[in-house]
Amino acid sequence: MWDNMLVSLVLGLVIGYIAWVLKWKVNKGEKGLPYRLPPGSMGYPIVGETFHFFKPNNSFGVPPFIHERKQRYGSVFKTSIVGRTVVVCTEAEDNNFIFQQEGRLFRSWYPESFTQVFGEQNVGSLHGYMYKYLRNMVLTLVGPEPLKQNFLPQIHQNILSETAHWNHSVLDIKEASASIIFDFTAKKLISYDPSTDGGLRRNFEAFIQGLISFPLDIPGTAYHRCLKGRSRAMDKLKKMLAKRRENPHLENADFFDHLISELNKQGTLLTEDIALDLIFVLLFASFETTSLAVTLALKFVTENPKALKELQEEHEAILARKEDKESELTWTEYKSMRFTSNVINETIRLANIVPGMFRKAMKDVQIGGYSIPAGWTVMVCPTAMHLDPFVFPDPVSFNPWRWQDAEDSNSIIAKHYSPFGGGIRFCVGTDFTKLYLSVFLHCLVTRYTWKAVKGGEILRTPGLSFPNGYHVHFHSKPGHPNLS
Ligand SMILES: *[C@@H]1O[C@H](CO)[C@@H](O)[C@H](O)[C@H]1NC(C)=O
Ligand SMILES: *[C@@H]1O[C@H](CO)[C@@H](O)[C@H](O)[C@H]1NC(C)=O
Ligand SMILES: *[C@@H]1O[C@H](CO)[C@@H](O)[C@H](O)[C@H]1NC(C)=O
């Protein structure tokens, strides 16, 4: 019976594939003109070019998958990944257009594998009113005002005390920063206390590799571990939410309490599932992307002594200007960190943590002279923009000074820089990540000198990871400020 089912399944898929190829070969556009579909290869039936796409690589360059096809077909091409036709856009102008058309010609879209991991109701899959509603809720937490009023002093205190005893120790900075950030955000979001209930973070581990990896759910694959982690973490969160609904915090309300009060409102839009998916995404996004950015920034400045020296000078100067050396960083001081901001822009340009962002065409649309039929998936590929040698000469080298004259939002660099997506979906966590990274660098360079001792190699599958971590040996600077 299984054999029969398998045969009919394969037959069905093959027939479906042929019908689908024929459909696009003969289909006509709206005004009776033939579609001019983007060029590109659909690879093998069903698997398409999936294996090429997921092939691991350890360089900071444009992923070979994109690079080779761009050379062959031009800046817009089609391919087939995990059974789905995807049009890849690599040109800044097209990408910015797609971002700006969010909700009109395009809407954000995630692969099924993504929705399985983040839940049907995750923020990325919601649109229109519901999306705005959740976005506003998140902004009350990490918007500009709370960042200024609450986060800056709290992050500073937290990093100072967490890094106070790093003298003479060797740490994997990826692991150490992930743990510090996770504990901090989990405390803010759900009053999580790692000492009484350890192990929540473990469920998020190896997550980014699994998330942007081949979505094959069988034991042993990164994707399988990722799903397992998700279900354990969701179980924990669900129990915590249930407990909290019985015993709300009256004082020191956290994001859980905020969600619960929304859940209890008459005619609320929020459901428990949406709330849990939201907490899950926020926990994951904050610590994983931020700890990767911290590790990359540290790696880049460690490997570039001139940049490290300039960074140290900037932060020593901030300390030197303070009357009370032990006082907290102020918003004005944060805003004065110009070189740090260049270092961060350059780190994020090179990091390209995600290979692409997906959108779905809502109508037939023209991009770069080609037709994209309604319903097709488009992958916006910031990597190709960020590593464009005409905009960023010597694109894979770390050069924070290239940002010095780039502040003008009309500059060519600004037009080619959209690491967090653009338009209304501009990542809500951007300011948090930048703030966190700046404060982290401030604390490290004013307190410590260090040497890299092991690791630091990156791997893209195509999600970015540090397979061997990044191990660093720290030494206290004499007379460093000690607030802890
Ligand atoms: C990784 O990509 C670079 C180009 O970006 C290429 O030269 C190199 O051969 C690739 N390595 C592997 C292992 O595919
Ligand atoms: C840091 O550790 C080294 C070696 O243990 C020690 O000699 C030095 O005094 C320590 N510095 C500070 C500021 O504690
Ligand atoms: C860094 O990039 C942001 C855009 O994300 C821009 O607003 C800022 O001006 C850039 N910083 C510098 C120093 O160019």
Whether 418 lines ligand 3, by a CB cut-off of 6 Å, is no
Whole-angstrom CA distances from 299 to 7, 58, 124, 156, 456 are: 52, 15, 31, 21, 7
Pairs from 448-457 (Cβ < 8 Å, separation ≥ 24):
448/163, 448/166, 448/167, 448/474, 448/475, 448/476, 448/477, 448/480, 449/474, 449/475, 449/477, 450/302, 450/474, 450/475, 452/299, 452/302, 452/303, 453/170, 455/172, 456/299, 457/58
Domain contains 365: yes
Residues with CB under 6 A from ligand 1: 57, 59, 61-62, 64
Give the number of the ligand closest to the Cα of residue 164.
2
Q: What is the pLDDT of residue 1?
A: 42
| 1, two tokens | 């019976």
Give the number of the ligand closest to the Cα of residue 477.
2
Find out whether 313 and 216 touch, Cβ atoms under 8 Å: no
User: Candidates 405, 407, 434: which one to mutate for ligand 3, based on the most atoms within 8 Å of Cβ?
Assistant: 407
Domain contains 373: yes
Q: Could you identify the atom of ligand 1 that is nearest to the CA of residue 58?
A: 1
Domain contains 70: yes
Whether 352 lines ligand 3, by a CB cut-off of 6 Å, is no
List, in order, residues 6 or more apart from 88 with CB less than 8 Å away: 40, 66, 69, 76, 77, 78, 79, 356, 378, 379, 381
Give the number of the ligand closest to the Cα of residue 60.
1
Tell me which residue range forms the domain holding 90. Answer: 36-120+355-386
Q: What total of structural domains would you count in the chain?
A: 1
Give the number of the ligand closest to the Cα of residue 438.
3
Give the number of the ligand closest to the Cα of residue 447.
2
Q: Could you identify the atom of ligand 3 that is nearest to the CA of residue 344?
A: 1
Nearest CA to ligand 2 atom 5: 168
**What is the Å distance from ligand 3's center to 348 Cα?**
11
CA atoms of 191 and 185, how far apart (whole Å): 9
User: Candidates 346, 352, 403, 411: which one to mutate for ligand 3, based on the most atoms within 8 Å of Cβ?
Assistant: 403
**What is the Å distance from ligand 2's center to 10 Cα?**
67
Nearest CA to ligand 1 atom 12: 57
**What is the Å distance from ligand 1's center to 57 Cα?**
6
CA atoms of 223 and 114, how far apart (whole Å): 10
Q: What is the pLDDT of residue 2?
A: 44
Pairing of β 459-460 and β 365-367: unpaired
Please list the ranges in the chain whose pLDDT falls under 50.
1-2, 5-6, 22-23, 26-30, 32, 423-426, 483-484
Q: What is the pLDDT of residue 483?
A: 45
**What is the Å distance from ligand 2's center to 176 Cα?**
20
**What is the Å distance from ligand 2's center to 479 Cα?**
11
Find out whether 434 and 148 touch, Cβ atoms under 8 Å: no
Q: Could you identify the atom of ligand 1 that is nearest to the CA of residue 55?
A: 14
Whether 403 lines ligand 3, by a CB cut-off of 6 Å, is yes
**What is the Å distance from ligand 1's center to 58 Cα?**
7
Domain contains 105: yes
Q: Could you identify the atom of ligand 1 that is nearest to the CA of residue 62?
A: 5
Q: In this structure, what CATH number is given to the domain that contains residue 114?
A: 3.30.43.20
- What pTM was computed for the model? 0.84
Instruction: Compute φ and ψ for 189, nearest 5 degrees.
Output: -80, -50
Give the number of the ligand closest to the Cα of residue 410.
3
Closest CA to 432 of 276, 289, 262: 289
* 3-state SS, residue 361: strand
Q: What is the pLDDT of residue 462?
A: 78
User: Candidates 163, 165, 168: which one to mutate for ligand 2, based on the most atoms within 8 Å of Cβ?
Assistant: 168
Q: What is the pLDDT of residue 121?
A: 63
Whether 345 lines ligand 3, by a CB cut-off of 6 Å, is yes
Whether 407 lines ligand 3, by a CB cut-off of 6 Å, is yes
Whether 167 lines ligand 2, by a CB cut-off of 6 Å, is yes
**What is the Å distance from ligand 2's center to 291 Cα?**
27
**What is the Å distance from ligand 2's center to 344 Cα?**
30
Domain contains 410: no
Give the number of the ligand closest to the Cα of residue 347.
3
Q: What is the pLDDT of residue 332?
A: 95
Q: What is the pLDDT of residue 407?
A: 67
